[in-house]
Amino acid sequence: MLERPHFSAVLVVALVTCCGCNKESPKEPVTVSPSDRVAPSPVGTSQIILEKTFSLKSSATFPFEIPAHAVQPHLHGIFESFVGQLHGASDEAANIDFLIMNEDQQTAFASNRPSEALFDVDASHNQAINFDLPASMSHPVKYYLVFRNPEGKSKVVEANFRVDF
């Protein structure tokens, strides 16, 4: 029985001590150093952007995103266009335009406003592309592959693109 009052006294002392420590101190603003925001780098990786065969009447747009912290993203690939059907005539009659656009440029293009492109190829039916995109810094960046058929004749495009980081 003697142990019970001793236990209660210890409990009361512990509660008083804890309650006394629970005073709120003024909070100081937390500052985050830029180095604390570093995320894993995609360096040394590769991403498939487009592996597709598609019909092209007027234009086709394929968005892709470069992840944050990509220092030297490099887009490479090839496209070939055909008149009418896949592996049909692939000559000057199959020519199309190819563009790489950032988000602002693509928005203007989609609104039929005059627009520039980061990269463009006019009137080609078979083209290999190698293009260094700008570094993405701390935020992902969206880009667009745009295939345009200014003549409006039915064409088929076979395209394979990837990006290396």
pLDDT of 155 higher than 60: yes
By residue range, what is the domain housing residue 82? 56-164
Q: How many residues does the chain have?
A: 165
Cα distance between residue 56 and residue 51, in whole Å: 15
| CB-count burial class (<10 Å; 0-12, 13-18, 19+) for 61 | middle
pLDDT band at 33 (very low <50, low <70, confident <90, very high): low
* Span 95-138, pLDDT tens digits: 999 999 999 999 999 998 888 999 999 999 999 999 999 999 88
pLDDT in tens, 35-55: 445 445 566 788 999 999 999
Is 132 part of a structural domain of the chain? yes
The whole-number pLDDT of residue 35 equals 46
pLDDT band at residue 142 using 50, 70 and 90 as cut-offs: very high
Q: Is residue 3 part of a domain?
A: no
**Is residue 70 a part of any domain in this protein?**
yes
21-48 burial string, b = 16+ CB within 10 Å, else e? eeeeeeeeeeeeeeeeeeeeebeeeebe
Count how many domains the chain has.
1
Q: Please state, in angstroms and rounded to a whole number, the distance separating the CA atoms of residues 138 and 70.
A: 9
pLDDT at 151: 87
In a domain, 140, yes or no: yes
Q: Is 38 helix (H, G, I), strand (E, B) or coil?
A: coil
**In this predicted structure, what is the pLDDT of residue 88?**
83
